[in-house]
């Protein structure tokens, strides 16, 4: 796992957007796995700016969702489908056909989960999966004690995650659904490159456990330790509990430019 410590979230956004742009220059129809939450927004803004500036052609890009609430009406502004369309698909100027996500309104949720898992494989797999991290160490909506081999399935949110996400629902936890569909940890690990972005002091414990703690279902993000190409980008605050911070800084400073992320 590579850990890159950046000064702030804008620098993290720029670094990851450049990695995505590089990927699209090599593979114009790359499948980009995108995450929701506040953390990845600087990535999407930086990538859209590169497209507008003509630094990369994203017209062939495909975008797929990581997770979704169950039961929010189609078109609800906080459904992750709406968020990804608004924050990623539209700013990049992509058609809706370039976008894939699980159906959180399906009557048969397990069937919708299987369908999505299969659709990802049939699309050739995810080239780069961007991830955030929950304060409890979750990735996607794989809450603590999710199987490290799990596939896309329904999960129940912890109280902590519902409290954390209430800010998107007028601060009202009652509006935050209890159930979600999420790519499983096994599904996420099939992406060719995993990039986790974490910013802010509130993520420092989860980051330290994920990067330096034991591999454990209790900290789902620790599953990145199993992946042959995982990059963790953190700002100084999120890096503040890492024991190997100085080593990570020195390694990145000495990294040959041609290597990219
Ligand atoms: C939600 C999403 C995760 C995201 C997490 C952190 O739970 N399902 O994919 O990583 O929130 O969000 P934020 O970046 O806003 O802290």
Rounded to whole angstroms, the Cα distance separating 231 from 9 reads 15
- For residue 201, give the nearest of 163, 232, 239 by alpha carbon: 239
Ligand 1 centroid from CA 238, angstroms: 14
Assigned CATH topology for domain 2-256: Rossmann fold (3.40.50)
What pLDDT does 249 receive? Answer: 98
Question: In a mutational test of the pocket of ligand 1, which residue from 9, 12, 39, 81 has the highest number of ligand atoms less than 8 Å from its CB?
Answer: 39
Q: Report helix, strand or coil for 33.
A: strand
Ligand 1 centroid from CA 136, angstroms: 10
pLDDT one-digit tens code per residue, 21-69: 999 999 999 999 999 999 999 999 999 999 999 999 999 999 999 999 9
What is the band of 197 on the pLDDT scale with cuts at 50, 70, 90?
very high
* Burial of 221 per CB tally in 10 Å (0-12, 13-18, 19+): buried
Ligand 1 centroid from CA 150, angstroms: 19
37 CB less than 6 Å from ligand 1? Answer: yes
What pLDDT does 257 receive? Answer: 87
Q: Which residues contact 15 (CB under 8 A, 6 or more apart)?
A: 4, 6, 233, 261
Rounded to whole angstroms, the Cα distance separating 237 from 208 reads 11
What pLDDT does 156 receive? Answer: 98
pLDDT one-digit tens code per residue, 167-177: 999 999 999 99
140 CB less than 6 Å from ligand 1? Answer: yes
What is the band of 89 on the pLDDT scale with cuts at 50, 70, 90?
very high
Distances 2 to 27, 155, 174, 195 between C-alpha atoms, Å = 23, 29, 39, 10
- For residue 259, give the nearest of 6, 9, 18 by alpha carbon: 18
Rounded to whole angstroms, the Cα distance separating 112 from 88 reads 23
What pLDDT does 35 receive? Answer: 98
Does pTM top 0.95 for this prediction?
yes
Q: Where are the domains of the chain?
A: 2-256
Active site residues: 67, 136, 138, 143
Ligand 1 centroid from CA 156, angstroms: 15
Rounded to whole angstroms, the Cα distance separating 146 from 161 reads 14
Atom of ligand 1 nearest to the CA of 182: 8
What is the band of 74 on the pLDDT scale with cuts at 50, 70, 90?
confident
Q: In degrees to the nearest 10, what's the CA dihedral of 127, 3, 137, 89?
A: -40
What pLDDT does 56 receive? Answer: 98
């Amino acid at each position: 796992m590579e850990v890159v410590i950046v000064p702030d979230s804008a620098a993290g956004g720029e670094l990851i957007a450049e990695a995505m742009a590089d990927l699209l220059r090599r593979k114009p129809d790359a499948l980009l796995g995108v995450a929701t939450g506040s953390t990845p927004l600087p990535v999407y803004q930086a990538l859209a700016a590169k497209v507008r500036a003509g630094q990369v052609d994203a017209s062939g890009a495909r975008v797929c969702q990581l997770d979704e609430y169950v039961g929010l009406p189609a078109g609800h502004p906080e459904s992750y489908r709406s968020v990804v369309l608004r924050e990623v698909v539209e700013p990049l100027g992509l058609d809706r056909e370039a976008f894939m996500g699980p159906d959180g309104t399906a009557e048969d949720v397990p069937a919708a989960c299987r369908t999505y898992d299969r659709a990802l494989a049939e699309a050739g797999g995810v080239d780069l999966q961007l991830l955030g991290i929950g304060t409890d160490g979750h990735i996607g909506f794989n809450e603590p004690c999710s199987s490290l081999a799990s596939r896309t399935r329904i999960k129940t949110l912890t109280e902590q995650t519902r409290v954390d996400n209430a800010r998107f629902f007028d601060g009202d936890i009652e509006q935050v659904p209890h159930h979600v569909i999420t790519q499983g940890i096994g599904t996420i690990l099939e992406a060719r490159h995993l990039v986790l972005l974490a910013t802010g002091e509130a993520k420092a414990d989860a980051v330290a456990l994920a990067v330096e703690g034991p591999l454990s279902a209790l900290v789902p993000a620790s599953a990145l330790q199993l992946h042959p190409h995982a990059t963790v980008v953190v700002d100084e605050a999120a890096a503040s509990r890492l024991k190997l911070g100085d080593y990570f800084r020195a390694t990145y400073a000495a990294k040959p430019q041609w290597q990219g992320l």
